[in-house]
Homo-oligomer: A and B are copies of this chain.
Amino acid sequence: MAKASDRDGEDDADRHVARWRDHWIDVDFDDEVEGAVVRMQHLVRHFREAKQRAVAQVGLQAFEYDTLHTLMIRDTPGHASPTDLATDLGVSPAGMTGRLDTLEKAGYVGRTVGKTDRRRVEVEITDAGADIWRQAMAIRGDAEDQVVNVLSKKEQIALNQLLKRMTLSVEAEGEQDH
Contacts and interface: CB of A to CB of B under 8 A. Distances in A.
Number of identical protomers: 2
Contacts of A2: 157, 161, 175
Interface string A147-178: 11111010111111111111111111001000
Contact of A168 (B9, B157, B168): B9
Identify whether the interface residues of A are mostly helix, strand, loop, or mixed.
helix
B11 A171 contact: yes
A172 B4 contact: yes
Of A1, A37, A77, most B-chain CB atoms within 10 Å: A37
Interface of A: 1-5, 8-9, 11-14, 16, 19-20, 23-24, 27, 30, 32-37, 39-47, 72-75, 77, 90, 137-138, 141, 144-151, 153, 155-172, 175
